[in-house]
Structures are given as structure tokens and as C-alpha cells.
Structure 1
Amino acid sequence: MSSAAKTPATDAVAATAKTDASGPQPQPGVGKAVVLVSGGLDSTTVLAMARQQGYECYTLSFDYGQRHRAELAAAERTSLAMGAAAHKVVALDLASIGGSALTDMSIAVPEEETSGIPVTYVPARNTVFLSIALGWAEVLQAQKIFVGVNAVDYSGYPDCRPEYIAAFETMANLATKAGVEGQRLTIEAPLIHMTKAEIVQAGVALGVDYALTVSCYQADAEGRACGKCDSCRLRRQGFQQAGLTDPTLYVCQAAI
């Protein structure tokens, strides 16, 4: 049985992870950080960056009714591999409100580039995720929340922009006991101005094993990518532009 199978996605109890002795270790005085992880390329790179800065990282994923569960397994896998202090999965039901190809199986995932905000946008997803991360950060007495949003090579999602992150951080410090009492909370989005190629290069330099990650919007049960969706296209272009080999496994490798 896989590690992911042993930790049900509906379990909101933190699973203690084994520290990777070969990776960057938390530095005294740096403190704790909550890191949002999806099992994909961007969030895994952010986790590596937070670890490199010396934070004791507590990773957080969501079982929110997404199309596939392969990303949840990848999130746990990458968290364990990169020495997270604990990994938590919170169950939500964003599928009940629908409105996205990632939560409503009647809406097809687009396999060609489209104009405007695509149907893979999940209404208010980052706001919901960051709000829960904010709550856990207060409980942990962590003053940093790391998130892998990107405003350069992305699909046009409104909740991936710098002004959104700045607005959420302002709200976080108005709405929490920690913020009101002077323990300022910071939302760290280190990838926000980076291209996908720059993200890949940064992750490789930090020792990220991208073979552990799953980026595809419609990966199969084994985590193999479709090679056709926006996420697959952006990932593939990033590795090509970085001059590096993409370790992604595809449902149909010959078609890529």
C-alpha cells in the first residue's frame, strides 16, 4: 500500500513527516511556516524555497472535490521527500458549488489555448485555501504562509495576481488575533514574478525531484498527464525553455 493510501484525504489530522537530513534544516529563530502544496511543480518549488530559508514547514493540501486524487498523493509524497514537519489534508466540498472544469465533471477541461479566464478557474479557491492556512498558522504561531501563485506563466486566474496577495495579507492582519496583537502575518509568494523556466531552474538548483510532482488538470489514477491541458502545456514549455528534461509521465508518451 502506498503512503498516500495510508493517510486518507479526508483526515484533517496532521501526519508527522520524516525529516530529510540531506535537505536544508530549520534554523533557530527563523520559525514556522505553513506552505500550501498541491503536489504540482510550483508549490513543490515553493516548499523547497521555504526549507532553504530555514523555515520549519507545515504543508497543507485540500481534498476539495477535484477531478483526480493523484495530486493529493503527490502532495503527500513531495512533503515527505522534502522534510516537512507535518502534512495536513483538509476536506472541502467546492464541487457542490461547481462552476469549474476541475470540480464539475460535466465541464470539459480545455485542450487548446483559450482567451479570457478559462473554465479551469475554481471560484474563490485561493481565498478559501489561504483562509484555512491562515487559521492553521495562528494555531501553530507561524507568521509566514507560503503559496505558489504565479502571475507570469499562468492561466489568467484573478487570485494569482500580486494585488490579490497584497489585499489578502492586509485582510489577514485585520482579521486575526495574531495580527491585532502585533504578530504580523506575511503571505510569501516567491514565484509570482517568475517565468515557468525560471521556476524550474530554481527548483532544480534546490534539489527538487520533479518526477514526484503531478501538474496535469486531468491526470489518471497513476498520475500520468494528458499532455494537452493548459497546465501540461505550461509545464512542458517551462522545461524546454530552461533547457532541462521534463520527467513527466504521460498517458500517451508518443503523442508528446
Structure 2
Amino acid sequence: MSRKEKAVVILSGGLDSTTCMGIAQDQGYELYPLTFDYGQRHHNELDNARAVAEHYGVSSRHKIVPLSFLKEIGGSALTDPSLEVPKAADGDADEIPITYVPGRNLLFLSIAASYAEVIGAGRIYIGVNSLDYSGYPDCRPEFIAKVEETIQLATKAGVSGRTIRIEAPLMHMTKAEIIREGLRLGVPYELTTSCYQGGPYACGECDSCRLRLKGFAEAGAEDPIPYAKK
């Protein structure tokens, strides 16, 4: 690229979204990270997102968008403190877990599309995955394809012929493959968190922690963050 094209990166402060930051940078894009404060119990991930943005030298372009109404709506153990975050072994593997936040990625991508249209970005990066994930319906390739189609129909950019694409580079990668790619790119995993509980240390027991630990083990690498229990 003679002049860097812009990419909006949905940055949660977790392992997957931070890997997307590394991939977008490696592909030559000018990074515009977008983080959402939706009342999640793992609120400390916002500090992680700030640290990641600083690491990549884009703190001045990092936006944190308040979406507190998702906490008010509830329906998820990540936003409703009266609901317990399940441990990895809890529940039916065929059921969508209670950590699913209704409409979260649909909202995130809609807002990211608005931001991309305003700043002239042609790409939106999101760290969804359909292999090593928790079974959320808004992490599937068919969901991403339909939202991308809707963006083209619903935006001035789209109907004017300026395409806004959704990049989901981790979609068909295992957690170990994601970690290996991130390590190759020098992604700062020590600045990330994946724990749903939101305590001072990752719990090591929730679904997200177990997937992360399993991924590092299979990648033959040591997870650089502290855990309350492994």
C-alpha cells in the first residue's frame, strides 16, 4: 500500500482481538481500535485494551464506546451479577452457554461499520472463531457474511460502491494456531485477559480461561499472565 488503508479493529483486550490487531498491522493497515464498555463483569479488560492500543502506538485513535444498556437488558452471566459464570465442565455442551450476551456482536459490528464509514476505513477486524469457542451464534461464518452483506445495503459507502469488508482471520483456526500466529507476530499476550470473572487474576476455571490455557499448552508455549488456579 502506498498510503496506508484504515482498518477498524474491535478490541476487547482479550487474546483473540489482540491477535487481530497484530494481523491487521502485519497486513499494513492503519489501526483504529474500538472497544465497548457494555457493563461486563470482566471490566478490567478495558484497561487491557488501553494497554494493547498503547503497545501498538495508537492510543490517540482508540475509542471506548459505552453500551451500558446491555447490562440493563441482562440475560447473560457476563452482564448480570446474579447469574454465576459457569466453570468449563458445567452445563450441556450442545447448549448455548449463559455467558452469551444477546446481540453483542451484532451491535459491535453495526457501530464499527458506522465508524468505518465516517473515517473511510475499508476493513473491520473482529476476532470471532468457529472452532475453539463457546458456541455463540454470533461467532459463526454465516453470521459474519450476512452482516457484511447488510453493511453494503445499509450504508452510504456501500451503495456508493465503497465496500466495507469484515475480516475474521481467526474464524477457522484452533486456539493453538491463533497463539502460534500471535507469537510469530509478537502480539503482547502479557497485556491481555480472557477471564470471564474479572478478578485481579484470571480464574483458570471458566470456559474462556480453559480454552486459553489449552491453546497455549497445545502451542507449546507458556501463558504469560497470572492465574488464581491452573
**TM-score normalised by structure 2 residue count:** 0.95
Greater shift in the superposed pair: 78-87 or 148-157? 78-87
Letter in 2 for 1:246: D
**The one of 84, 93, 104 aligned to 1:125:** 104
Number of the residue aligned with 1:229: 206
Q: Deviations over 1:179-217 (max 9, x none)?
A: 000001100000000000000000000011211101100
Q: Distance in 2 between matches of 1:198 and 1:68?
A: 25
Number of the residue aligned with 2:62: 87
Q: Give the secondary-structure state (helix, strand or coil) at the position aligned to 1:109.
A: coil
Q: Deviations over 1:96-148 (max 9, x none)?
A: 11000000000000013332110000001000011110000011011100000
The offset of 1:30, in angstroms, is 4.0
Number of the residue aligned with 2:16: 42
The offset of 1:79, in angstroms, is 1.2
**The one of 233, 236, 240 aligned to 2:217:** 240
Does residue 176 (structure 1) correspond to residue 155 (structure 2)? The answer is yes
The offset of 1:80, in angstroms, is 1.2
Letter in 2 for 1:100: S
Once the two structures are aligned, what percentage of the paired residues are identical?
A: 57
Aligned-residue RMSD, C-alpha: 1.0
Does the CA-based 8 Å contact 2:39-2:67 persist in structure 1?
yes
**The one of 123, 141, 148 aligned to 1:162:** 141
Does the CA-based 8 Å contact 2:126-2:168 persist in structure 1?
yes
Number of the residue aligned with 2:82: 106
Number of the residue aligned with 2:35: 61
Q: Give structure 1 stretches of 5+ with no counterpart.
A: 1-26
Letter in 2 for 1:48: G
Q: Distance in 1 between matches of 2:163 and 2:21?
A: 21
Letter in 2 for 1:238: G
Give the length in aligned residue pairs. 225
Number of the residue aligned with 2:129: 150
Q: Distance in 2 between matches of 1:244 and 1:80?
A: 24
Q: Deviations over 1:19-59 (max 9, x none)?
A: xxxxxxxx433400100000000000000000001100100
For CA contacts below 8 A with separation 6 or more, give which structure has more relative contact order. Answer: 2
Q: Give the secondary-structure state (helix, strand or coil) at the position aligned to 1:67.
A: coil
Letter in 2 for 1:92: L
Equivalent positions of 1:187-206 (< 5 A) are 187-206=166-185
The offset of 1:83, in angstroms, is 2.6
Q: Distance in 2 between matches of 1:213 and 1:234?
A: 14
Q: Distance in 2 between matches of 1:75 and 1:28?
A: 29
Q: Give structure 2 stretches of 5+ with no counterpart.
A: none
Q: Distance in 2 between matches of 1:92 and 1:219?
A: 18
